[in-house]
Amino acid sequence: MNSRERILKTLNHEEPDQVPFDLAGTTWTGITNTAYQNLRKYLGKDEISPEWSDVIQQIVVPSEEILDKLGVDTRGVFPLTSHNWDVYSKLNARGKYFEYVDEWNFTHHFPKNGYWFSLVKNPMKEVNFEEENIVEDFNWPNPSKSERFAGLREKAIKIRKMDKIVITKGFCAGLFEMHQRVRGMENAMVDPFLFPLNSDKLVGKLADLKIEFWDSLLNEVGDVVDIVGEGDDYGTQQSQLISPGHFREYYKPHFVRILKLIKEKAPHVKLMFHSCGNVRSIIPDLIETGVDILNPVHVTAAGMEPFQLKKDFGKEIAFWGGGVDTQKVLPSGLTQEVKDDVKRNIDALAPGGGFVFSAVHNIQAEVPPENIMAMHSAWKEFGKY
């Protein structure tokens, strides 16, 4: 069974020959450059200049040699966005850190010898949000620039010929997260109550930009991709950043508009939704809106116990990620602890299909290569059907 067959079968909630494996098919299931270079050294390979899928998170696309060696079933095609479009050419040195101002006018800082960029300035944080045309007058980025999509079709076709699954990503973070980035987190939490009209205009504008992006991207590659990813970080370790009711009233209607466009343009694609943390309470909403795949199963968050999630939702939605805890076990555990965690999660999520193995989130810089390979060997051992 090849990779495409394997993943398509499991997404149809049937058991393939083995649990499929994803590494770096998305910017939520990737590996940081530091961890990747350490892994290369461990495998006897020289350090190389990376291909970036997300410079802000420092996520790279491993070489085809490494992906093939590890038996990865997925490949990502990454359009150009503020997270991977000539970021390093736009850096300005500011003493102890580098500064990057992106196309949204967000200001990011990267400490020298740091691990990732941090957002430090929100362009509409200090504005008078009661002004009638405040949203319309903002200098929004152009989501349909042809340069964003150059070469993606050819790359997707090449991946298809390799019998791998093709995944592509959206224009930016989710509606709630982008609301925070534009207005600042404190404002985003209260905007719907203090400024309901302009808050809805802002969220609606963000959705419109996403729709324009997906319309252009799917014109290019809609017939040659298999999975598209959208997401929004609603969950915390214990509950949610906003209530399920808040999500349903202020964000879900615009999210539905985005998914409707995607399904109209590419009816065959599977929709992946990403959110860290405890999102159990909105999983029924995601299923209702047509989401096919939840990423990740944040196995250490409250409400995200994998056996129970599989029992309650496993026939209606596929689970992608949750193969090993990335907060404590993968960076700090012994190799046997990594293997034990992998076995436990596969035992919970794999029966009946509907599970693609990857770590809970991106493999961070401090993860030792021995633990990455322990994760991999445990997947091979325990992922057989």
In total, how many domains does the chain have? 1
Contact residues for 349 (Cβ-Cβ < 8 A; gap 6+): 297, 306, 309, 310, 314, 319, 322, 355
> What is the pTM for the complete model shown?
0.97
Strand 118-121 vs strand 165-169: parallel, antiparallel, or unpaired? unpaired
Range of the domain at 291: 3-82+136-382
CA distance 206 to 186: 18
CA distance 325 to 303: 15
pLDDT digits (tens, 9 = 90+) for 130-151: 999 999 999 999 999 999 999 9
Question: 275 in a domain, yes or no?
Answer: yes
CA distance 333 to 339: 10
Full DSSP string of 55-117? TTTTEEE--HHHHHHHT--EEEE----TTTSSTGGG-EEETTEEEEE-TT--EEEEETT-SS-
Question: 46 in a domain, yes or no?
Answer: yes
- Cite the beta strand spans of the chain per DSSP E: 31-32, 51-54, 59-61, 74-77, 92-94, 97-101, 107-111, 118-121, 165-169, 227-231, 270-274, 293-295, 318-320, 355-356
Instruction: Give the pLDDT score at 237.
Output: 97
CA distance 155 to 312: 38
Q: Residue 368, Cα to own-chain centre: how many angstroms?
A: 22
Confidence of residue 169 (pLDDT cuts 50, 70, 90): very high
Question: 345 in a domain, yes or no?
Answer: yes
Confidence of residue 113 (pLDDT cuts 50, 70, 90): confident
Q: Which helix (H) or strand (E) holds 180?
A: helix 175-183
CA distance 264 to 243: 30
Question: 286 in a domain, yes or no?
Answer: yes
CATH number at residue 30: 3.20.20.210
Question: 155 in a domain, yes or no?
Answer: yes
Question: 131 in a domain, yes or no?
Answer: no
